[in-house]
Chain A
Amino acid sequence: MNFFITVNNREIEAVKGETILQALKRAGISIPTLCNMEGFTPTGACRLCMVEVKGREGLVPSCSQPVEEWMEVKTHTPRVIKARRMIVELLLASHPDDCLYCERNCHCELQNLAFELNVRERKQSSRRPAMVKDLSSPAITRDPSKCILCGRCVRICEEVMGCSSLEFSGKGDASRIDTLGGRGLNATSCIACGQCVMVCPTGALYEKKKLAELQIALGNPGLHPVAVVDPVVSLSLADVYGNRNLRQSARQLNNLLKRCGFREVYDYAALQDLYVRKTAEELTRAEGSTIYSSNCPAWIKYAEQYLPELLPCISKLKSPSQLAGTLLKKLLPEKDGTKPFVVSFSPCTARKYESRRREFNPVGEPEIDLVITARALEQYVVLNGMDPATAEAEEFNKPFQTSSMYGELGGVSGGTMEAVAAETYFRLTGGKDLPSGRLKKVKPGKIRELVFDHAGETWRFASVSGMAEAAGFIEELSGKPGYYRYIEVMACPNGCINGGGLPILNDDNILKNRQKQLTELAEKNALACSNRNRTIDELLSELAKMDGGEQLLYTAYEPGKTV
């Protein structure tokens, strides 16, 4: 039901059941918020979104107050602005003064708020006990002194990722956000997905960027640096650079990387093709049981921690990133005699954790030497004074040069599942394409399903994203083993296009756009499916010739494992 409410003496339309904030947003009235999170039940903790409502004694939090027909709202009166400014001043009172050196300098919500509310001096200062940075995780640094206790990380960790690695502790002026049990993040249930980094308004949570390491490696003449680039990385940077021609922008990124000092640049999507083909092979061999995907490292850590009984069902295939590392290390030296230094460019912070797993680090020979996120890459390009707009387009290098449509779709939740289904169908039917239009959205954005029949047998495929959602889905399935033949699990909601290592853009539509862009891009790909990717055939035959070549593609899991 729609009706009108009065806001600042103007009528705006409101929908029954929504909050004042939602109505205001639609009407183009912007209200500052800190604790509010799109799609979550409001907590009303930050009190920044307070507005005046006629007839109500105190100010009212617009984020949690449902609209009512009689309402007369004032959003920017002196009283409201004074309150908002005071709240920001209070936060700043005990906030460290080192903006210039802060990870989030210029991208900090607190900084923006202080600017918007015209806070021009430190009117109050209050001391907080010194707090120690938590550097224990290979992917994420936590600096509690920057924390303003908005609670967004706690909520995303618990409600979306199902990990509860972060929690509120203490009370009153000793309140803080801490890891579960106060241990280093490393020793908690943290799966390094980086979603907390994405929602942190300040510099209290940030990834380990490793840009200095990158620079040193690129400047070392004894190394042969090569890059593997996930299509989501170039996609997200295209957003940042405002480049609408995605294929062009990916090729331009290759050029930028070369200019940074990389000798070769490889397409992650090609390895996704390999991953899909090997998975389908495994699937057609397996007898009726469910196989879970293994390309998301955060999901693997989650399963090792919470679902040890499921580990035998998870594909032993290495993730495309690690596949790239292994194959490049094993194949390249024989090709040009220098030692490759493999840098994986990824939308994901958990890849940093993955690359440090013991089994991927045979003595002195890590498969992946460095993982750099899209966010860090953006900074590195700036650091090197390069203008992305002027870069020429350049192809990826062989052997991972071309990829199929399905290879490119690996970053969207459901992409791998669809590819594996098509590939399986192809194998089963001896070369037929899977008829289109079989994809069903069971739960929009979260669970999808694909079903086909072959030789009297029903093959069901599913994909699920968001760790908490996935855990619930898996639990529901415990009663029907083998109902689905293949389940793709991605820890981040909607998949890698929402990864924890992407630039933080604060754009509500970014996900939808990325999904659309990536799909459109992939659909333009001349190679429809993974089996058409000839380079993979060549690679596989080369591997088959090697002693134990096939072995290189597989790994193992351990229950209860932390780094």
Chain B
Amino acid sequence: MSLQAMNRETARRIIALPPSKITREEQDLLLLLRRDRCTIPVILVSESRPARVSGSNATYSAIADYISENNLSVELGRCSGKGFQQNEPFVDVQLPGKSRVTFGPVSPEIVPLILDGMINKAIPMEYALWQYRNPMHEPWDGVPFFDEIPYFSGQVRKLTRNFGLSDPASVAEYIARDGYKAFVKAISNYTAADITELVEQSGLRGRGGAGYPTAQKWQVARNTLSDQKYLICNADESDPGAFTDKALLEREPHKVIEGVAIAAYAIGASMVFIYVNASDSYSTDCIEHALSEAAALGLTGENIFDSGFNLKVQLVRSAGAYICGEETALINNLQGKRAIPRQKPPYPSEKGLFGKPTVVNNVETLFNLPDILNYGPQWYRNTGTPDSPGTKILSLTGKLKYQGLVEVPFGITLNDLVTKIGGGIRNGKQFKALQIGGPAGRCIGHEGLQLKLDYKTFAEAGIFLGSGGVVVLDEENCMVDVARYFLRFISRESCGKCIPCREGSRRMLDILNAISHRPEQGASHEPLERFKGVMTLESLAEVIKDTSLCGLGKTAPDTVLSTLRLFREEYEEHIFERKCRAGVCTDLQTYYIDMEACTGCTACAKKCPVNAIIGTPRQPFFIIEQKCTGCGICMETCKFSAVKTR
């Protein structure tokens, strides 16, 4: 439902007044907006990146067509993504008085089936995934409740509790769910010092990677004298495969803005920059739209809600490189310079943007603030561990049965994450490792699964949580290849400023390339030589970590080091036996035909996909090495075992 349902004055009253002070009509409106009540059937199609990819727009128009063809009185709308990659696109259906049911995947063909059934009050069970619990609604029989689905029951959905329920493009729906109350309460009733104190008590730690206590960072900026202070909301997130920060922007952009506004008030910044990833236009559009809605309601601008607090929020699109997320590079970029990190100290909180005290906070960090203010630090501390209170949003991907955006309490073991939430490895394969923290992260093997998610525990184990990307690998992943993948990313994305990171990562990549490819003609990559490369790898990694300027270089070798430590035998197989047990590094071996054994039957030549095998029938055949891609089909084909490798 859009803002038309709620005019500006009503919205401002609802935000500013306690629930007891608002009128009956306004309360009714809130019930409608929260979908606690509906008078006509409501159909909501999920709207998120995975949903779009799976064809949610086609589903949406199929439903719209169905409604107009049958002349139904139905409200059709959108809801945000649910954080569950399987079964997209989702369609939620809610009939008056009955609880809300989620269907998925709903392709345009099955739209009529579901809608027919729904209108006749008989749900087509096979498509219903779950229903939402609501004391005001009568549940359906035989449909599991949302919190009974293993993927969700293992999670603690606090920050993401509205994901998949409300329409991100509607500020009214956000307000109906207590939106902006925390901010307006903060600027009306609390001093900036109070807010910092509350956040201090909550024990909130930065989610941008290092887990630095948020209140402490604010305090430095607060204590630094300056006529101008800045807040930067870091939503750059350009790790390959990570999507949590973008999800926050697209699923509840108003909560991001509220968090930003609270933090700005606490540190005394009247100017905020929200730094978003330029390559993702969808999340950028979402936050841009939300910003204009917030401005229209007077939630930003001059003298907000008569508190005397002024706030200007500006959206900035990043220069589009991974390093732009590093705070000093980000600041350089905001000043119109090349995005290159600089040596700290001084920290940005002392001397940042244009030399003024600047707090850089991750978007998820700020996303926690409305809850902390609404429900208090004690409530916040009830979840998580004493060291790391609260929850963490992770992007869970890889070879799991279930994948998506998950929210888990700190303290959860990695094992629970993989087996309970992720449903274990799919297709009955064996778990091999888990890569956590994006390119800066490292691999964790079986033994590591007992580790608890917690900044302190992780720091002790030398793991960097990074952006919260978790990739689960199974026996079909080659660890050398995984290391190579991340290293290639690093060596491309290093800013190029300092020698160890720039040259060192390129060198390490060269070595990995050498051990996962067969030797080039003429080059002598004898096993010993290749093994020496691996020895160099370790000392290279050590120096890169010891000397690099920024966090990227300091963590760049971690994936390689951790795989080398955990899966050394795989490396050795690559080197000495030219074997990749996962069958990923197909380029490792040179295929040739044994002249003695070959009968010239032509079978292999016919099968070769790249025509690399030549010869005359009944004479020995020959493989052209330069053409061969090493797929191995010829070897499987040959009945005389004449195809050999070396």
A contacts, CB < 8 Å to B:
42-48, 50, 58-59, 61, 64-66, 79, 82-83, 86-87, 90-91, 93-94, 123-124, 126, 148-149, 151, 168, 170-175
Contacts of B509 in A (CB 8 A): 173
Mostly helix, strand, loop or mixed at chain B's interface?
helix
CA A148 – CA B500 in complex, angstroms? 12
22 contacting pairs across A/B (C-beta < 8 A): A44-B342, A45-B549, A47-B498, A47-B548, A50-B547, A58-B554, A59-B547, A65-B343, A66-B345, A83-B500, A86-B500, A91-B503, A94-B503, A124-B507, A126-B503, A126-B506, A149-B502, A168-B340, A171-B492, A171-B493, A172-B502, A173-B496
B539 & A123 in contact (Cβ 8 Å cutoff): no
B499 & A46 in contact (Cβ 8 Å cutoff): yes
CA A547 – CA B545 in complex, angstroms? 75
CA A79 – CA B546 in complex, angstroms? 9
- The 5 A-B pairs of least Cβ separation, nearest first, read A175-B496, A90-B503, A44-B343, A172-B492, A86-B543
B492 & A173 in contact (Cβ 8 Å cutoff): yes
Q: A47-B548, A90-B507, A173-B492 are contacts. A123–B536 as well, Cβ < 8 Å?
A: yes
Considering the complex, give the chain B residue whose CB is closest to the CB of A128: B506
A83 & B499 in contact (Cβ 8 Å cutoff): no
A172 & B491 in contact (Cβ 8 Å cutoff): yes
Contacts of A65 in B (CB 8 A): 343
B505 & A173 in contact (Cβ 8 Å cutoff): yes
Contacts of A126 in B (CB 8 A): 503, 506-507, 510
Of A50, A93, A123, A171, the contact of B496 (CB 8 Å cutoff): A171
B8 within 8 A of A: no
CA A168 – CA B329 in complex, angstroms? 14
How near does chain A come to B576, taking the closest CB pair, in angstroms? 21
Of the listed residues B340, B345, B494, B503, the one surrounded by the most CB atoms of chain A closer than 10 A to its CB is B503
B495 within 8 A of A: yes
Q: A124-B536, A171-B496, A175-B502 are contacts. A44–B549 as well, Cβ < 8 Å?
A: yes
How near does chain A come to B384, taking the closest CB pair, in angstroms? 26
Contacts of A149 in B (CB 8 A): 496, 499, 502
A170 & B536 in contact (Cβ 8 Å cutoff): no
How near does chain A come to B477, taking the closest CB pair, in angstroms? 24
CA A61 – CA B345 in complex, angstroms? 11
Contacts of A171 in B (CB 8 A): 321, 323, 492-496
Considering the complex, give the chain A residue whose CB is closest to the CB of B548: A47
Contacts of A64 in B (CB 8 A): 343
Of B338, B494, B499, B548, the contact of A173 (CB 8 Å cutoff): B494
Contacts of A66 in B (CB 8 A): 345
Considering the complex, give the chain A residue whose CB is closest to the CB of B338: A168
Q: A45-B499, A58-B554 are contacts. A87–B321 as well, Cβ < 8 Å?
A: no
Mostly helix, strand, loop or mixed at chain A's interface?
loop
B493 & A172 in contact (Cβ 8 Å cutoff): yes
Contacts of A58 in B (CB 8 A): 545-547, 554
Contacts of A168 in B (CB 8 A): 338, 340, 496
Contacts of B323 in A (CB 8 A): 171
Contacts of B504 in A (CB 8 A): 86, 90
B429 within 8 A of A: no
Considering the complex, give the chain A residue whose CB is closest to the CB of B494: A172
CA A352 – CA B148 in complex, angstroms? 82
CA A460 – CA B22 in complex, angstroms? 76
Considering the complex, give the chain B residue whose CB is closest to the CB of A52: B546
How near does chain B come to A47, taking the closest CB pair, in angstroms? 4
B503 & A47 in contact (Cβ 8 Å cutoff): no
Contacts of A123 in B (CB 8 A): 536
CA A427 – CA B510 in complex, angstroms? 73
Contacts of A173 in B (CB 8 A): 491-492, 494, 496, 502, 505-506, 509
How near does chain B come to A152, taking the closest CB pair, in angstroms? 13
CA A149 – CA B500 in complex, angstroms? 12
CA A87 – CA B496 in complex, angstroms? 14
How near does chain B come to A121, taking the closest CB pair, in angstroms? 12
Contacts of A86 in B (CB 8 A): 500, 504, 539-540, 543
How near does chain B come to A36, taking the closest CB pair, in angstroms? 12
B565 within 8 A of A: no
B426 within 8 A of A: no
Contacts of B490 in A (CB 8 A): 172
Give B522-561 as 1s and 0s: 1 = Cβ < 8 Å from A's Cβ atoms.
0000000000000010011001011111000010000000
CA A168 – CA B536 in complex, angstroms? 29
Give B297-325 as 1s and 0s: 1 = Cβ < 8 Å from A's Cβ atoms.
00000000000000000000000010100
Contacts of B494 in A (CB 8 A): 171-173, 175
Q: A91-B503, A172-B502 are contacts. A82–B539 as well, Cβ < 8 Å?
A: yes
Considering the complex, give the chain B residue whose CB is closest to the CB of A151: B497
Contacts of B342 in A (CB 8 A): 43-44
Contacts of A87 in B (CB 8 A): 499-500, 503, 543, 547
Of the listed residues A42, A44, A48, the one surrounded by the most CB atoms of chain B closer than 10 A to its CB is A44
Q: A149-B502, A173-B491 are contacts. A43–B497 as well, Cβ < 8 Å?
A: yes
CA A422 – CA B536 in complex, angstroms? 68
Q: A44-B342, A174-B492 are contacts. A82–B507 as well, Cβ < 8 Å?
A: no
How near does chain A come to B111, taking the closest CB pair, in angstroms? 47
Contacts of B492 in A (CB 8 A): 171-174
Of the listed residues A47, A48, A124, the one surrounded by the most CB atoms of chain B closer than 10 A to its CB is A47
Contacts of B536 in A (CB 8 A): 123-124
A59 & B496 in contact (Cβ 8 Å cutoff): no
Contacts of B345 in A (CB 8 A): 66
A42 & B495 in contact (Cβ 8 Å cutoff): no
Of the listed residues A45, A91, A149, the one surrounded by the most CB atoms of chain B closer than 10 A to its CB is A45
Considering the complex, give the chain B residue whose CB is closest to the CB of A90: B503
How near does chain B come to A125, taking the closest CB pair, in angstroms? 8
Of B321, B510, B546, the contact of A50 (CB 8 Å cutoff): B546
